[in-house]
């Protein structure tokens, strides 16, 4: 397994208690686009030193269900060896699925997830979940693939337990083709953890949503047990 591309952008702010923010692109998005679209600059504008690593896994890792192992071996474990204590994942579209799959396998390794228009599963699965009432305990039986079962099963349990870590932030556009699934997740998140706007599955929506979520100070250290009250 290999990571095809990794671009690192260190925060100009000094400090030892640094955040490593790993940005994961969706299919067809290149790593360099995050900086070109202002995503990295926005992260660096926070009053916390946020170092950014844009990591572009080979698409085959998603198809072969190997993205979690690749992220752990090539990104998270090396970051721990470099003394990063605070690691966040930001995923767009398929990258959001990658972030959730990683969290489902290694929930204690990441402090938070920022999901921008995440791919949560097939349209058929999302429709079945909506008919069943949302992200409830029966979610595993409705998921149609093994990755969906792990991702959605962990997500349902995480929200039900009101776990404080990893924190979840969601941003999506109302006209996004994956919006039906996004709305199911938004129903379970606190308003402070969700941003929604008009738009589609594209950079103008994602960059605006990212900037809006940053106004919620996601990287501010939180007291233990602070979940902002996930909804049941």
Q: What is the pLDDT of residues 117-160, one digit of tens each?
A: 999 988 888 988 888 888 877 676 787 788 888 888 898 889 88
Q: Report the distance separating Cα 83 and Cα 76, nearest Å.
A: 11
Within the chain, residue ranges assigned H as helices are: 33-36, 39-44, 59-63, 67-71, 77-81, 94-105, 123-132, 139-142, 146-160, 179-186, 203-214
What are the structural domain ranges in the chain?
3-214
Instruction: Give the three-state DSSP class for 53.
Output: strand
pTM of the model: 0.92
Report residue 77 as tokens: 């474990």
For 3-214, give the CATH class: alpha beta
| Residue-wise pLDDT tens digits, 20-77 | 999 999 999 999 999 999 999 999 999 999 999 999 988 888 877 789 999 999 999 9
Q: How many Cβ atoms are within 10 Å of 130's Cβ, its own excluded?
A: 14
């Amino acid at each position: 397994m290999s990571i095809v591309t990794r671009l690192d952008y260190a925060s100009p702010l000094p400090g030892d208690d640094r955040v490593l923010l790993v940005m994961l692109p969706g299919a067809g998005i290149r790593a360099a686009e995050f900086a070109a679209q202002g995503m990295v600059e926005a992260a660096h504008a926070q009053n916390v030193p946020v170092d950014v690593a844009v990591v572009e896994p080979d698409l085959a890792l998603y198809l072969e269900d190997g993205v979690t192992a690749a992220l752990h071996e090539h990104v998270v474990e090396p970051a721990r060896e470099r003394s990063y204590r605070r690691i966040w994942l930001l995923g767009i579209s398929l990258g959001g699925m990658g972030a959730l799959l990683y969290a489902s396998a290694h929930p204690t390794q990441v402090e938070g997830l920022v999901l921008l228009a995440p791919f949560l599963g097939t349209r058929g699965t999302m429709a079945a979940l909506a008919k069943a009432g949302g992200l409830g305990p029966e979610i595993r039986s409705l998921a149609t693939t093994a990755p969906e079962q792990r991702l959605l099963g962990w997500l349902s349990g995480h929200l039900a337990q009101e776990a404080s870590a990893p924190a979840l932030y969601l941003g999506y556009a109302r006209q996004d083709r994956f919006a039906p699934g996004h709305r199911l997740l938004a129903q379970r998140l606190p308003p402070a953890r969700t941003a929604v706007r008009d738009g589609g599955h594209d950079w103008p929506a994602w960059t605006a949503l990212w900037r809006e979520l940053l106004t919620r100070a996601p990287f501010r250290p939180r007291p233990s047990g602070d979940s902002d009250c996930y909804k049941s």
